[in-house]
Each structure stands twice: as structure tokens, then as C-alpha cells.
A and B are shown apart, each in its own frame.
Chain A
Amino acid sequence: MLELDKETFEAEVLQAPGKVVVDFYGDGCVPCAALMPHVHEFAEKYGGDDLKFCALNTTKARRLAIGQKILGLPVIAVYENGEMIDSCVKDDATPENVEAMIKKYA
């Protein structure tokens, strides 16, 4: 998994070819920390040239996250051509739902 920051998000996600999965998390977000190992597992299983996996700590990139219309964590989102095309947010971001979403694009 590629760890993003507010400098690299644009190039690695919005300008990147193919589809990109982004795990938006934050400091002190316990549900985010519980979900993350599952996302790592999915990255191993489904990641590839056409489906890249990244993570962004929103605590250090707050304005960027708000710009992506994210105000609640955790969010696992899929991007293509600079746009968020799908996402699992908060209670819907269960390992099961996230995997089902990722499978659609793998």
C-alpha cells in the first residue's frame, strides 16, 4: 500500500492511470485502525497494475479530504480519471462490503 500525503495525492490518485483504491483514515479513529489490516489483505489479493491501493491520513490532509467531500471516517473509495466512482463510508465500510466493492473493479 502506498502511503499518500497532501503533496502526492494529486499525482498518485487524481492524475493516475487505471483505478485507485484509497483508504482514508485519521489519527484516533479506532474503526479506521480496525479496518486497515483488511484493506492491506485486499491490496495483496486484488492489487495490480490496473488497481492501485493507497492510504491517506486525513488528519494531516484535512482540507484535501474536505475537498473530496469527506467529513466522516473511515472511507474506502475507488477513483478513476480523477473522480471518486464508488465508496464505502463509516458503518457501511465493513470488511465484507469493502471487498465486494473492490471485486467490482478488480
Chain B
Amino acid sequence: MSKTYDVIILGAGPAGLAAGLYAGRSRLDTLIIEKGQDGGQIAITSEIENYPGQLLEGETGPSLVARMTEQAKKFGAERISDVIKSLDLSGDVKKVMGNKGEYLAKAVILATGAFPRPIGCKNEAKFVGKGISFCATCDAAFFEDFEVFVVGGGDSAVEEAMYLSKFARKVTIIHRREELRAAKSIQEKAFANPKLHFMWDSVVEEADGDELLSRMVIKNTKTGELTTVEADEEDGMFGLFGFIGLLPNTKLYEGAVDMENGYIRTDDNMHTNLPGVFAVGDLRVKSLRQVVTAAADGAIAAMQAEHYISNLK
């Protein structure tokens, strides 16, 4: 029989790591399970400007996450790399089934976050890794002196476009509306960047090319007019990066906890409809999905989990 933890946290993004830190400090026997890299979305974010107390210069997603991971470890949270296949969250002892084994806990905190929303154009899947990307920090270097297009108009899209402009010859933001949604301070920097260009009222309809992305069809959202963008003949390729929001990583919990459009419903204290099961960060129904709100969710859930466990005894 495997050991029963006090609390298992699924996901090691800011929400999960903050929950791990608070649970560890409360001396709860804590296990964090992550399938990939610590940090989740923030681990592939080039620049972060709005987390209180962060470094004012040169803070990247990975550098912030590295400190969060250290902090959670310092207070004793155990961490395992595994992919979760199924869960049984209904009983007093929650069961989490992974590839490497079965894990048991009195309480579970769901912190599996979200993943990038696809661009939604024809042939998209075929060109991911062949010109289409959702990770500027992973793939920017391939496009040094090439042309790059960024889909989106929010903070992430504009920040990542500016990061890409350090590598690419020219970066064009393709946005479905006629003005950006990004914070004004970010917009000011973007409009002052000579490498950044804008294609307003536009969406990508189709991606194309031989093996590598070299052609795409753009649709004007107002007129419906279609135009084709071709790679410069000498280049023979271009990059297309998508930053148009996120989709929640909640497939595993379908039918187990209450959801709304794929996001998990909680109360103000992160309780789901199941006793001892909490949801935190980007995967829950909330108005603002940021590192700071994810971390706050994690802290609240850990304290609520402690309260729940002490009432079990």
C-alpha cells in the first residue's frame, strides 16, 4: 500500500508552487506532481513585469519560476515528474493514477493550468514546429534575420512580439480588431519599436508551404477580403507565433468536478463541489488570470486544505 500524503498538488506552475510553499510551511506532507517543466505557461514567457516584488530588470518567466521552485522545496514539498492518467476524487482518500504509480492523499489541489489556444487556421497542426510556434523563448533564435508574424493583441502577444523583434528582421502583429488590448505601457513600447508592424482587423485563415511555413492566407474581419502573404524569396520561410489566450487543462476532471465552459467552478476559498478537492490558478472560473492571482489562489487552497485535513482527524 502506498503512503497517503496530506495533500497532492497537480501542476507546478505559480499556483501549484505557491500551494506547495504554504502547505510545506504548514508542515503538511505535500507532493507536487508535474508532467513537464516547472512554471507552466510562465516558464515559456520571455519577460515578466507585473509580479509584485520581482526583479525590476531582467526578470524572465524561468528566473521567477526557479525561485518559486526553490522556495517550495525549502519548506519540504516533495516533487515528482509524472503524467496523470486518471483520478478518483470522491472518497476520503483521493487516488491519483499516473504512469509511474498510484498516489494517495487526504486532499488534492488541482493546478494544471492552461495551454495556448490554437491560432485556428487551416493546416495549423501540420506546421507546428515547421514555422508555427506558441513559444517565443523556444524558437525565436531560428528566425534571426527572417520575418515573423504574431497573432494576438493582448499583453502576451505584444510582449512576445517585442522579444521576437530582438531576433527577427521584421515582426508584424496580426490582430482581429483595430486596436490592441494590451496594457497602455506595453503599447507605448510597441509603437516605439521600429521593427514592429501591425495588420489590423485581420485573422489567419490558412497556413501553407512545402515542409516549412512559407505562405498564408489572411482574412480581413471587416470586409472579408482574402490576401496571401508569401515568404521573401531569399528567405523561403517565415515564422507565425500565436498568443491569443489559453484553454484550460481540465479534461481529466470532466464529470468529476463542476465546470463552466471547461473551467472549474470554485468558491472564494478555492473549494470545488467535492470535499477535499480544491482548484487554483488559470483552470478555474475567475476574472484575471495572472501569476499574482495564481499564487494567491495557491496560498488560499493550501490553508483551506490544512483546515479540511485537521477536521478529518
Residues of A within 8 A of B (CB): 26-35, 58-59, 62, 65-66, 69-75, 89-91, 94-96
Among the stretches B23-31, B125-133, B254-262, the one at the interface with A is B125-133
- Known contacts A58-B142, A96-B99; is A72 also within 8 Å of B62 by CB? no
* Contact call B138/A31, Cβ cutoff below 8 A: yes
- Known contacts A71-B131, A75-B129, A90-B128; is A31 also within 8 Å of B36 by CB? yes
Contacts of A29 in B (CB 8 A): 135, 137-139
The tally of CB-CB contacts under 8 A between chains A and B is: 90
* Contact call A26/B239, Cβ cutoff below 8 A: no
* Measured CA separation A42–B27 after assembly (Å): 36
Contacts of B137 in A (CB 8 A): 28-30
A26 touches which of B62, B115, B130, B141 (Cβ 8 Å): B141
Q: How large is the interface on B (under 10, 10 to 19, 20 to 34, 35 or more residues)?
A: 20 to 34
Contacts of B44 in A (CB 8 A): 30-31
* Measured CA separation A94–B82 after assembly (Å): 10
List the 6 shortest-distance A-B pairs measured between CB atoms, nearest first: A72-B129, A34-B37, A89-B129, A29-B138, A30-B43, A73-B138
Contacts of B237 in A (CB 8 A): 66, 71
Residues of B within 8 A of A (CB): 35-39, 43-44, 61-62, 81, 83, 99, 115, 128-133, 135, 137-142, 144, 211-213, 237, 239
* Contact call A72/B211, Cβ cutoff below 8 A: no
13 A–B pairs (Cβ distance < 8 Å), ordered by A: A26-B141, A29-B137, A30-B44, A30-B137, A31-B37, A31-B135, A31-B138, A71-B133, A71-B142, A72-B128, A72-B131, A72-B135, A72-B142
Contacts of A71 in B (CB 8 A): 129-131, 133, 139, 142, 212-213, 237, 239
Contacts of A73 in B (CB 8 A): 129, 135, 138-139
* Contact call B129/A62, Cβ cutoff below 8 A: no
* Measured CA separation A92–B155 after assembly (Å): 27
* Measured CA separation A30–B64 after assembly (Å): 13
